[in-house]
Chains A and B, each alone.
Chain A
Amino acid sequence: MASDLAGAVSGAAARPAAAAAAPTRFPPPWRAALARLGWTAASIGLFVGIWELCWATGLSDPKLLPPPHIFLANIPDQARFFNTATRWQIGINPADGPSPYEAVFITIGATSMRVFVGLAIAAVLSVSIGVLIRYFQLLERLTLPTITLLSPISPIAWLPIAIFIFGIGNAPAIFMVVVALFFHMTLSTISQIDAVNRNYINVARTMGATKRQIYARVIIPAILPQLLLVLRLNMFGAWMVVLVAETTGVGFGLGQVLSMARNTFNPSLVFFCIALIGVLGFLTDLILRMVQNRILFWVPQTAGVLRGL
C-alpha cells in the first residue's frame, strides 16, 4: 500500500507535464478552437443579456426594440413574410410556391449570391486594372484621374443608374456591389504595389528579371496578403450595399424583406433580418479567413503580439 503510494507519487513527479495534460482529453488545436468558440458565445451572450435586461426592467419598449427571445421565438411566424413565389404572374396559383422555411433559405441564398458574385467581379476587375495601371503608364494617365474622381461617390448615388441600365432583377444589385467596391479596391491595389519592399524588386532586377517577371513573381505575391485583407473588409461593404440595392425592385432578398418590415412597422421582423444578416456576414468572414490562412501560410501570425503588454 505504502509502496503503491510511493510509486504513484514518483510516477507523477517524473511526468508532471503528462499528468497536467491528461485531464483535458482534447488535443491542443481542439482546445484552442473550443476556447475561441466559448469566448464568441460569451461575447454574444453578454450583448443579448444586456438587451434582455433592458426589456425585463422595462427600460426598452418591446414593441419598438423587441429582445431576441421575442423576435426569435416564433420563426415560422417570421418566415411567412419571406415570399419568394412569383404570385403576380398570370396562371400561377397564389397558394403554390415554396413553403415559408424554403422561402427563407431561397432569400438568404439569393442575397448571398449577389454579394459573392459582386465581390468576385469587383475583386478580379479591380486587381487586374490596378496592376495594369502600374504596368502601363499610358493606362494610368488615361484612367487614374477618372477612377479617383468617381471613387468618393456614394454607392447609393449609383442606385438610379443601376435601375436605368439594368432594370429589375439580380443585375442591378450585383452592379451596385461591384460599383461600391471597384474604385476603392483599384486605388488600394495601386497603393499596395507602390508599397512593395524595393529590395525585393532590386533582388529580382539583379537576377536579370524582366518587368513582366518582376510583376508575376515578386509584386503580385507580395501584395496578396493585403489584397485579401482589403477583400475581407470590403465584404462587409458588399453586405451593406446589397441590402440597399434590394429595397428596389429585385423581386426578393433580405433587403426587400427589411424594407417591407419597415413599411409595415414590424420591428420584430427587422431584428430577425438583422440577426440573419449578422450570422451570414460572420460566416462569410470566417470562410474568407480560412481561405486567407490556406493561401498565405507564409505570413507570420502577428495576431496577439500585443497581448503580453
Chain B
Amino acid sequence: MDRPFLEISRVSVRFGATLPPVLSGIDLRIRQGEYVAVIGHSGCGKSTLLNVVAGLLPATQGGVVLEGKEVAEPGPDRAVVFQNHSLLPWLTCYENVKLAVDRTAGREMSRAGRHDWTMRNLALVRMEGHAAKRPAEISGGMKQRIGIARALAMRPKVLLLDEPFGALDALTRAHLQDQVMAIHAELGTTVMMITHDVDEAVLLSDRIVMLTNGPDAVVGEVLEVDLPRPRDRLALASHPRFLAAREAVLRFLHERHAPPGQAAA
C-alpha cells in the first residue's frame, strides 16, 4: 500500500483547554473501496472522529488527508449519513435527494440528468415508490434509506455512516445492512462506519477499528475481517472465521475495555 486513500494522522480533539482530550493521536489509513468500521463503547469519541473526517469539527491536533488533499471543511466528497436521518421535514423524499444532487452537481448535469440521477439513487435504496412522500409519512427504516440515497447522490469519495442503523429494530436493521452491502459491492465506495453493534461490524467491514474508552481514547486494536464477499448473514452465522472475529471484538470490548460504569456496578 503506497499512498493511502484516506489518511487520519495523529488526530486529537479537545473540547476545552482544561478538559482531557476526547481523542488522542488517532492514526488510521483507509484504502480505496475499503469498508472500515469504528467500534467502541458509547461516549468514547467515535462520532467525534467521524465529524473530524467529515470536516464538521476541527481537530485540535493532527489532520485528515483525502486523496492527497487536507480536509479543512465539510464537502460533498465526504457525505455523511447521520444516526437520526436528518431529512428536511418540509421537503418530500425526492426533494431531499434532489437538493443534494442540485447542490453538488448543479452545473455539470442537465435538468433531466439531475432528475434521472435522483431517481437512480432512490431506486438504489428501493424507495422510488415513495418519492412523493414527506419524511413524517414514512417509517424510520425508510427515512434512513433516503438518508443513504441522499449521501450516495453526492457521489462521495468516502461515505461516512454515523451509527446509521442504531435507532432501528433488528429486522429492519438486518434488511438495511444487506442493502448497504449490496450497494458497497455495486459501487465500490469507500465506507467508514461508526457502530456499537459487534455483529454489524463483523458482517459489513473489511477492517474493524476498536477504540478504547474515553477520555483520551486511542485506537486499541485493528482487526482484519478475512471473510469472502459477497457475504450472506445466514451462511456466516456458523462460519468459524466469523465467530472468531466476533469473539475477538467482544473480548476487546467486554474483557479488556469494559465500560467504566460497569466495573463498579
Residues on A facing B (Cβ under 8 Å): 197, 199-200, 202-203, 205-209, 213, 217-218, 221-222, 298-300
Task: Flag if B88 contacts A205 (CB, 8 Å).
Answer: no
Interface locus among B24-32, B79-87, B176-184, B196-204: B79-87
Name the residue on A nearest B89 (C-beta).
A298
| Selected contact of A206 from candidates B75, B89, B90, CB within 8 Å | B75
Contact B80 A203 (CB under 8 A): yes
Whole-angstrom distance between the Cβ of A121 and the nearest chain B Cβ: 27
User: What CA separation (Å) do A13 and B172 show in the bound complex?
Assistant: 39
| Inter-subunit contact A209/B88 (CB<8 Å) | no
For B150, the chain A residues whose CB sits under 8 A away are 203
The count of chain B contact residues (Cβ–Cβ below 8 Å) is 25
List 5 interface pairs A-B (beta carbons < 8 Å), by A numbering: A199-B86, A202-B54, A205-B74, A206-B75, A298-B134
Q: Does B103 contact A (CB under 8 A)?
A: yes
Closest Cβ of chain A to B51, distance in Å, is 8
A213 to B103, CA, bound (A): 10
Contact A200 B86 (CB under 8 A): yes
Would A208 and B103 be within 8 Å (CB), given that A199-B84, A200-B88, A203-B80 are in contact? Answer: yes
A202 with B84: CB separation less than 8 A: no
Contacts of B73 in A (CB 8 A): 205
Instruction: Indicate if the CB atoms of A207 and B100 lie closer than 8 Å.
Output: yes
- Closest approach, in angstroms, between the C-beta of A280 and any C-beta of chain B? 32
Note all chain A residues with C-beta closer than 8 A to B80. 202-203, 206
B189 CB, min distance to chain A CBs, angstroms: 15
Q: A200-B86, A218-B88 are in contact. List 18 more A-B contacts (CB 8 A).
A: A199-B82, A199-B86, A202-B74, A202-B82, A203-B150, A205-B55, A205-B73, A205-B74, A207-B103, A208-B76, A213-B103, A221-B90, A222-B90, A298-B89, A298-B91, A298-B136, A299-B89, A300-B136
- Is B99 at the interface (CB under 8 A from chain A)? yes
Contact check, B86 vs A203: say whether CB atoms are below 8 A apart: yes
| Contact A208–B89 (Cβ < 8 Å) | no
A207: contacting residue among B84, B89, B91, B104, CB under 8 A: B104
A208 touches B56 (CB 8 A): no
Number of A-B contacts (CB under 8 A): 57
- The answer to the question of B114 belonging to the interface, with a C-beta cut-off of 8 Å to chain A, is no
Contact of B154 with A by CB under 8 A: yes
CA distance A208 to B76 in the complex (A): 6
A217 to B99, CA, bound (A): 10
Quick one: which of A206, A213, A221 contacts B88, CB cutoff 8 A?
A: A221
| Residues in chain A near residue B56, CB distance under 8 A | 202, 205-206
B101: nearest chain-A partner, CB-CB = A207
Interface residues of B (CB under 8 A from A): 54-56, 73-76, 78-80, 82, 84, 86, 88-91, 99-100, 103-104, 134, 136, 150, 154
The 8 tightest CB contacts between A and B, nearest first, are: A199-B86, A207-B103, A205-B74, A298-B90, A300-B136, A206-B74, A199-B82, A221-B90
- Shortest C-beta distance, A214 to chain B (Å), equals 11
CA distance A300 to B136 in the complex (A): 7
Shortest Cβ gap from A305 to chain B (Å)? 13
Inter-chain CA distance A298–B135, complex, in Å, is 9
How far in angstroms is the closest Cβ of chain B from A304?
A: 16
B contact residues around A217 at 8 Å (CB): 99
- Residue of A whose beta carbon sits closest to that of B103: A207
Which residues of A are found within 8 Å of B90, using beta-carbon distances? Answer: 221-222, 298
In the assembly, what is the distance between CA of A199 and CA of B50, in Å? 14
Cα distance, A103 to B89, chains bound together (Å) = 48
Residues from chain B with a CB closer than 8 A to the CB of A299 are 89
Measured between beta carbons, the chain A residues less than 8 angstroms from B88 are 200, 203, 218, 221-222
Give the distance in Å from the alpha carbon of A202 to the alpha carbon of B47 in the complex.
Answer: 13
CB closest residue in chain B, given A202: B56
Contact among A206, A213, A218 with B79 in the assembled complex (CB-CB below 8 Å): A206
Query: When chains A and B are docked, how far (Å) is the Cα of A187 from the Cα of B56?
Result: 28
**Which B residues are CB-close (under 8 A) to A221?**
88, 90
A213 and B104 CA atoms in complex are apart in Å by 13
What B residues does A218 contact at CB under 8 A?
88
Q: Is the CB of B136 within 8 A of A206?
A: no
Closest to A300 in B: B136
Contacts of A199 in B (CB 8 A): 82, 84, 86
Most chain B beta-carbon neighbours within 10 Å: one of A207, A222, A298, A300: A207
B74 near A208: Cβ-Cβ < 8 Å: yes
Complex alpha-carbon distance, A197 and B134, angstroms: 18
A-side contacts of B79, CB under 8 Å? 206
Taking CB atoms, residues of chain A closer than 8 Å to B54 are 202, 206
Closest to A221 in B: B90
**B102 shortest CB reach to chain A, Å:** 9
**Most chain B CB within a 10 A radius of its CB, from A199, A206, A218, A222:** A206
- A222: chain B residues at CB < 8 Å are 88, 90
In the assembled complex, which residues on chain B have CB atoms less than 8 Å from the CB atom of A197? 86
Distance A197 CA – B86 CA, assembled complex (angstroms): 8
